[in-house]
Amino acid sequence: MVDIHSHFLPGIDDGAQSAEQSMSMVQMAWRHGTKILVASPHADVQFRYDPDNVDRLLDEARAAAPAGIRLVRACDFHLMADNIEAALHHPARYTIDGKCYLLMELSDLTIFANTSDLWSRLEDAGMRIILTHPERNPLLRQRIELIEQWVSQGRYMQLTASSLLGLFGPKALAFSRLLLDRGLAHFVASDAHDLRSRPPRLDLAYQWLSSHYSEELARLLCVDHPLAAVDGAPLDLSSFPPSPASPKPSFLRRLLGRRSDS
């Protein structure tokens, strides 16, 4: 699996707070099947994003990481004027592995009316927008038409693995399922911050998607699409989402259906 969103670098945001915790997170991801783990520290008003410091910490993590896991740099890019200007001048400092995909976080307090126009400036400079955790944004949960519009314009949506497991509450889970049902979710990532409450366990989301939707969809959201983002390759959405696009019926519904047919 390929996890494009995590906060395992130590001491630079609200993720790992020590080198030991950082390496424990990397090892946990590796033990549970993650082959590529993207470090995406916050770039917002609370946490200053320093590309040189990120590179230094990432080199230290690579030196200590187990064989078989690749560690890649990105950032959790908050939509604000200073960030936009910096990314326009140096896009590779912010995008996933210095390619073209940019993880984009929106405020929970307001959605700018010119959000799409701001994104267009970044896209004109060669970047592609992946909106992180829309299911956890209370404003977006009331504006699914905005997400539909943005997806139609070529933007992508990334769900949080723990949202699918109900760990961010029933509203985040329900909205995640709505986005999945409508083919509006393109990535699932852990958004890991620690070892317990928000661990780097993408495998649990893979299992959930396989059980509730299909193995094919699980692979697309947790392997194929994230790998394309790391490689800077286009997503092939010509047959997306794969059939069946709707959730599998529950065991009880299947049982009642068989009884009604007998």
In the predicted structure, residue 253 carries a pLDDT above the cut 80: no
DSSP string, 202-253: HHHHHHHHHHHT-HHHHHIIIIIHHHHHHHTPPP--TT-SPSP-SPPPPHHH
Q: Mean pLDDT, to the nearest integer, of 10-29? A: 97
Q: Is 255 exposed, middle or buried (0-12, 13-18, 19+ CB in 10 A)?
A: exposed
Closest Cα to residue 155, out of 81, 103, 80, 216? 103
44, 11 contact by CB (below 8 A): no
Question: pLDDT-based confidence at 260, cuts 50/70/90?
Answer: very low
The DSSP bridge partners found for residue 213 are: none
Q: Three-state SS for 39?
A: strand
Alpha carbons 11 and 103: distance in angstroms, whole number: 20
Across the chain, mean pLDDT equals 93
Exposure string for 71-82, b = 16+ CB within 10 A, e = fewer: bbbbbbbbbeee
Can you list the domains of the chain with their CATH numbers? Answer: 2-261 (3.20.20.140)
- Residue 248: the pLDDT is 67
pLDDT of residue 243: 78
Q: Mean pLDDT throughout 90-117?
A: 95
Contacts of 132 (CB under 8 A, 6+ apart): 5, 76, 103, 104, 105, 158, 160, 189, 191
The pLDDT, as a whole number, for residue 33 is 98
Per-residue confidence (pLDDT) for residue 262, from 0 to 100? 44
> If you average pLDDT over residues 238-250, what whole number do you get?
75
Q: Given a cut of 90, is residue 249 above it in pLDDT?
A: no
pLDDT for 209-239, tens place per residue? 999 999 999 999 999 999 999 999 999 999 9
Q: Supply φ then ψ for residue 67, to 5 degrees.
A: -65, 140
Q: Can you tell me the distance from the alpha carbon of 62 to that of 242, in angstroms, rounded to the nearest whole number?
A: 36
pLDDT of residue 246: 60
Q: Tell me the pLDDT tens digit for each residue of 35-85.
A: 999 999 999 999 999 999 999 999 999 999 999 999 999 999 999 999 999
Q: In angstroms, rounded to a whole number, what is the distance separating the alpha carbons of residues 244 and 242?
A: 6
Cα–Cα distance measured from residue 215 to residue 211, given in angstroms and rounded to the nearest whole number: 8
pLDDT tens profile 138-197: 999 999 999 999 999 999 999 999 999 999 999 999 999 999 999 999 999 999 999 999
Q: Which residue has the tokens 């946490």?
A: 47
Which residues are bridge partners to 131 per DSSP?
104, 157
On the question of pLDDT at 105 being above 50, the answer is yes
What's the average model confidence in pLDDT over 88-117? 95
